[in-house]
Amino acid sequence: MNIVIITPTPPDINAFGVRILSSLLKNSGFKSKIIFLPGGIEHLRFDAKYIYTYSTKTLEQIGELCKDADLVGFSFMSQYFDRAANITEYLKKQIDVPIIWGGTHPTYRPEQSLDYCDIVCIGEGEQAIINISKKISNGEDHTDVKSCWYRINGKLKKNEQYPPVHDLDALPFADYELENHYLYDWISENIIPIDKNVMKEQFLRMPYFHNKHLITYRTMTSRGCPHHCSYCASSIMKPLRRRSVDNVMNELEMILKKFDYIKLISFFDDTFFAAPVSYFEEFAEKYKRRIGLPFHAQCSPTTISKQKIDLLIEAGLFFTEMGIQTGSKRIKQMYRRKVSNRRMVEAATLINKYRSRMMVPDYHVILDNLWEEMQDVKDTLSLLLNLPGKFGLQISSLVLYPGTELNDIARKEGLLKDELNEVLRKPFTFPKGTYLNYLIFLSGFPMVPRFLLKGLAKDVFIKLFHSQKPHKFFDYLFWLTMRLRLAGKGIIALLTGDFGRIINYFKLAR
């Protein structure tokens, strides 16, 4: 039996969940084919409402790869809804096989998803995909498979959901065998087979000391998150579960043996630092001895500690990111972020003490909250301007994703009326063009003097230049600054001969 999994992805093609599903299918005796469709940031402007459609040529190539399929699966997040719908509508006209959707968006919008596909998988899909595949292979009725929804004769059939996978060590490693793996290549505009050389260009390149960028392998040591933020849909992954240290090391050793050009590891857990100290004691000893590469991991103000960071830096930690999100007490309550500004400053101070051994950290901030007032934005800017040391910012415009508490609140209050255009087609990477937003954006540029920003943040300038509504002038400043930043990084990459990094910047900027 042949199963094709199609995954619209960001510019990198890690796709942890899809690759694990592929490994499970192969281990169960099925043939698995993966089609990766990476996409960049198509329109760098606020509220672009960009409707993504694939070219006829690309759809035909996808159709050709699916012609021998017995089951076609899609896995995607909400911002890739248009892409999944576009391909599904095409395939429905070309092949007569069941199409199943899974991932966060189908989980939270199953009825909408069933307007396009035949089956929706709710939650984690490992057990469901194997059971459906077995039943289809045996010619049996599969409409009783747990975690799956159907629309039969116009009526919804909602099957009981499988519990989350408790023992993550029991799952196979992600499928990096590359056999029957295909990739949309934006340069040639063709879907091409993936080999070791193609994969080398696709792996993420993360910054390292002395302006180096190293080929990076991303993985996750856990599922779930200890926090319960109202803007995040990660409740699909609760409760928090963690792989054993040996399981993680075995995966990394396997990957490094296969791809000897990987020089850096990124642990992409929602909050890697959430593990207890005892876990990191074992992790640090085994990682340093068995892997020995620099690594990146995310923390949060409530999970970072001196004991943990000492252990991890000794093992190879060189860069961390931390969620700040807002400096407003009122908005923090709305976000269910139970952390004071004082604790955030303490966490940033702790990170800053290791500046001789770590790169400038990145902090995450959310802008454009529908319920924010000017004072809330000022509180966030004030917090950032009083954090110690240099830092970069990962800023995002708040998107009310399906499945989040804020989405439900906005619907009840009448603030969200058109989810398709206001949520699914809203780019989260580009904030509103307002004066305060732009100052927050600039605070993440280490070369911009802090005293200058503090001067520009005085009430006299805010009253003169700030409006809650976006202004074309600041929209243009955002667009220009982002483009210049990407161009500057591209020039440095060119001068240092890092051509893979140049390709990555083109992907982001196109």
Containing H/E element for 331? helix 329-335
Q: What type of residue sits at position 164?
A: P
Q: 322-357, pLDDT tens digit by residue?
A: 999 999 999 999 999 989 999 999 999 999 999 999
| Separation in Å, CA 196 to CA 168, 306, 320 | 27, 40, 29
pLDDT (0 to 100) of residue 495:
57
pLDDT (0 to 100) of residue 239:
85
pLDDT (0 to 100) of residue 45:
54
pLDDT (0 to 100) of residue 236:
62
Q: 349-371, pLDDT tens digit by residue?
A: 999 999 999 999 999 999 999 99
Containing H/E element for 503? helix 499-509
Q: How many CB atoms lie within 10 A of CB 463?
A: 10
Alpha helices in 47-195 (DSSP H): 56-66, 81-94, 104-108, 110-113, 126-137
Residue 69 tokens read as 């399929």
pLDDT (0 to 100) of residue 211:
79
C-alpha angle with apex 184: 180 to 186, nearest 5 degrees?
150
CATH topology of domain 2-168: Rossmann fold (3.40.50)
Would you say 31 and 3 are in contact if contact means Cβ atoms under 8 Å apart?
A: yes
Distance CA 298, CA 345 (A): 17
Asked whether residue 43 carries a pLDDT value surpassing 60, the answer given is no
Choice among 125-134, 434-443, 474-483, 500-509 with the minimum mean pLDDT: 500-509
SS3 394: strand
Asked whether residue 289 carries a pLDDT value surpassing 80, the answer given is yes
Give residue 44's pLDDT band: very low, low, confident or very high (50, 70, 90): very low
Asked whether residue 259 carries a pLDDT value surpassing 90, the answer given is yes
Containing H/E element for 248? helix 245-258
Would you say 304 and 280 are in contact if contact means Cβ atoms under 8 Å apart?
A: no
pLDDT (0 to 100) of residue 16:
93
Asked whether residue 503 carries a pLDDT value surpassing 80, the answer given is no
Q: What are phi and psi of 32, to 5 degrees?
A: -120, 135
pLDDT (0 to 100) of residue 157:
98
Q: Which of 225 and 156 is assigned the larger pLDDT? A: 156
Would you say 135 and 128 are in contact if contact means Cβ atoms under 8 Å apart?
A: no
The percent of residues above 70 in pLDDT, for the chain, comes to 93
**pTM over 0.85, yes/no:** yes
Asked whether residue 31 carries a pLDDT value surpassing 90, the answer given is yes
Would you say 242 and 168 are in contact if contact means Cβ atoms under 8 Å apart?
A: yes
Choice among 40-54, 99-113, 127-141, 263-277 with the minimum mean pLDDT: 40-54
Residue length of the chain: 510
pLDDT (0 to 100) of residue 29:
97
Q: 71-118, pLDDT tens digit by residue?
A: 999 999 999 999 999 999 999 999 999 999 999 999 999 999 999 999
E strands along 257-367, which residues? 264-267, 295-299, 317-325, 362-367
Does 205-315 carry CATH code 3.30.750.210?
A: yes
For the chain, the average pLDDT equals: 92
Distance CA 432, CA 309 (A): 35
Choice among 79-93, 259-273, 420-434 with the minimum mean pLDDT: 420-434
Task: Kindly state the average pLDDT of the residues 257-263.
Answer: 97
Going from N- to C-terminal start, the domains of the chain cover 2-168, 205-315, 483-510
pLDDT (0 to 100) of residue 419:
96
pLDDT (0 to 100) of residue 491:
61
